[in-house]
Each structure stands twice: as structure tokens, then as C-alpha cells.
Amino acid sequence: MTSTYSTQETSNKMQAIKIKAFGGWQELEIAEHNLPYIQANELLIKVEAAGVNRPDIVQRRGHYPAPKGASEILGLEIAGTVIKTSSAVTKFKIGDKICGLIAGGGYAQYATIHEDTALPIPNGLSFIEAAALPETYFTVWSNVIERAKLADGETILIHGGTSGIGTTAIQIAKQFKNATVFATASSDEKCAAINKLGAVGINYLKQDYVEVIKQQTKDNSNGANVILDMVGGDYINKNIQIAAKDGRIVNIAFMNGAIAEVDFLPVMLKRLTLTGSTLRIRPISEKAQIANALKQHIWPLIESGKIKPIIDTVFELKNAGLAHKYMEESQHIGKIILSITK
């Protein structure tokens, strides 16, 4: 048995983005869809904004199917208002403003979310800003803090420094761990944005980031203690070259390919850890632990203004295809968001 709908909810239909056929951004269209069915420990959310992420593009192309039981609608992070709850829900009530991580269904006017992967919107943030948090912050916390165990004062290299992940990782590393941060990007404009966040931007089209890291760390760690990589390909060997002794290299994507010929001797000699993870298929219990950690450690930094979501562009829901096109052009700095309007 579930609670009744709030007065905001008047129809069992909604607008959502449909993938007409796997392929290019033009295959996304807005269409009528049934409201999602609420299950135990879930909330029904009137979605105000949803984040756009690289996995959405991979799913649109047909290479990243939704996990069993998840919505086939794109979208992994949302912000909005609770309009219905399962009777088993204890953490939220109708009318609460939340943001959170979902396994699918964000590109829609309504979505369901398990209460354990939902978080209250930090004080002072809009729905648009809050929608930029879940996927990137869950990913960065899980990989940089938990998996790579970035320690206070260490040096970290972040590839893709102006992506949503990159801008988030820079800020968490700086503000939570007081780390020395280097980040790669493809233009001077992007490097300027990285510098503004307190990191050292490296234009990899003009500079050899291997030499930059070696030179900049020769009197300290002699390399990067942690490397966060979403590129892969030829970066894999380069990361090994510039990792410090006992360094940790974390891969979260392979935009340039997942296969590389690797000399493992430096891995042994420098006692390196090579690791990586995905987030979407992990059980709710693990995601809940990340949510709790974020609420305890990072939400106060957001509310104090020390960390903030970086928003590049906001698109209307009906223009989700254009949002994908824009992301694929890789000119953005920060997050791309969909504003959900009726």
C-alpha cells in the first residue's frame, strides 16, 4: 500500500525522451509515456531538472543497456519534489525537495528513486544546480576518496578537468583533502577555468603533461599520488610513467579505448595500484553508503560555498538531442542540464 498522490499530480501520463533507434543525437524525441510505477522504499518525484552524462550518450548509441528492472528512459540524476512515497519510506515526505542518483528515467517529467540514493537539496541551491550533483559527486567520492584513498596534501592528476566529473573532482580534492591538483584540458580557455578552481591546468594539445607532472613534482612526490582517468588508450601507459611510488590510478571510462599494451615493470617497481569502477550496476546498499558520506562530508562544504556545481548550459527537455550533440562536441565547461517543463 502506498500513500496518495499530492494535489500536484493529476494524470498518469507524462512527457519523456524516447530513443527512436540506437544511433546519433537525432534519434532522441519527446513522447508521451506512462508514469513510472512506485515500488517499496521508493519516492515518486516531480522532476524539475536532470543531468546529462556521458553514459547517456553510450546508452543512446546502444552500448550501455539499462540494468534489469531499471527504466529504459535515459537519465541518471534528477532534482525535484517528492509527490508520492511508498508506505515503507522513512527518510522523506511529500513536498520534500531532493536530488539523487537513479539507474534510469531522469529525462522525464516524473521519475522514481529509492530513498537511500536520494539526498536533500543543499541549502541555497536551485533545482538546476542540484541536478548537477548526484552522478558526478557519487562517482568522484567513490573513486577518488574511497577507492584511490586520496590523503590530505597529496598530489592528484585529473584528466578531463573541465568535464562535470573533472570540475567536481578538482573541488573535492582541493577543499576536502587540501590536495595539489593538476588537470588536463584541450584549450587555454578550459585551462583558465581549471586554474580558477585552484588547480593547475595543462593544455595537452600544447604541453606534454608527462613532462609537466615530472617537473612540477620532482621536489615532492616525484609524480602524482592519484590519477583519475576517463580517457584510457595511450593515457594508460603515460599514467604509469607519472604515478608516484605507491600511486593509485583509477579508470572510470575509456573514451580513447580500453585496450593498451602495458609495460608492467614500473607497476611492480613503484608498487602501483591500478583500479576502476562503474556506478550504475552497484547495489542500492553501496550507493546508500556513498550518499551518506556525501551528506556528512561534502554537503556542508556546498552549503558553505566552498564547493559549487559548475553549470555550462541548460537545455529544455524537448531539446535533449541538442544537449547530447553539445556534449559530444566537448566544448563545455562543467555540467549540461535539462530543465523539465510541462
Query: Domain with 234 in it: what CATH number?
Result: 3.40.50.720
Decide which of 276, 293, 310 is a domain's last residue.
276
Whether residues 161 and 182 fall in one domain: yes
Domain membership flag for residue 1: no
Domain membership flag for residue 91: yes
pLDDT of residue 220: 80
Decide which of 276, 293, 309 is a domain's last residue.
276
Q: At what angle do helices 164-177 and 188-196 cross, to 10 degrees?
A: 30
List Cβ neighbours of 301 (8 Å cut-off, separation of 6 or more): 175, 176, 307
pLDDT of residue 11: 74
**Segment 92-98 long-range contacts (CB within 8 Å, at least 24 positions apart):** 92/43, 92/118, 94/3, 94/6, 95/6, 96/120, 97/121, 97/127, 97/130, 98/43, 98/45
Below-50 pLDDT ranges, the chain: 1-9
Decide which of 276, 309, 329 is a domain's last residue.
276
pLDDT of residue 341: 75
* Per-residue cell: 89: 519510506
Domain membership flag for residue 6: no
What is the number of residues in the chain? 342
Whether residues 54 and 101 fall in one domain: yes
Query: 64: domain range?
Result: 13-133+281-339
The span from the CA of 184 to the CA of 111, in Å, is 35
pTM of the predicted structure, to 2 decimals: 0.94
Whether residues 125 and 142 fall in one domain: no
Whether residues 84 and 163 fall in one domain: no
Whether residues 162 and 269 fall in one domain: yes
pLDDT of residue 342: 56
In sequence order, what DSSP letters do the residues of 121-170 get, joined into one string? PPTT--HHHHTTSHHHHHHHIIIIIIIS-PPTT-EEEESSTTSHHHHHHH
- Read off the CATH number of the domain in which 303 is found: 3.90.180.10
Whether residues 240 and 321 fall in one domain: no
pLDDT of residue 221: 81
* Tens of pLDDT, residues 292-325: 999 999 999 999 999 999 999 999 999 999 999 9
* Tens of pLDDT, residues 122-164: 999 999 999 999 999 999 999 999 999 999 999 999 999 999 9
Domain membership flag for residue 240: yes
Whether residues 216 and 193 fall in one domain: yes
Radius of gyration of the chain (CA): 20
pLDDT of residue 5: 46
Domain membership flag for residue 57: yes
pLDDT of residue 328: 97
Q: What's the total number of domains in the chain?
A: 2
Whether residues 106 and 199 fall in one domain: no
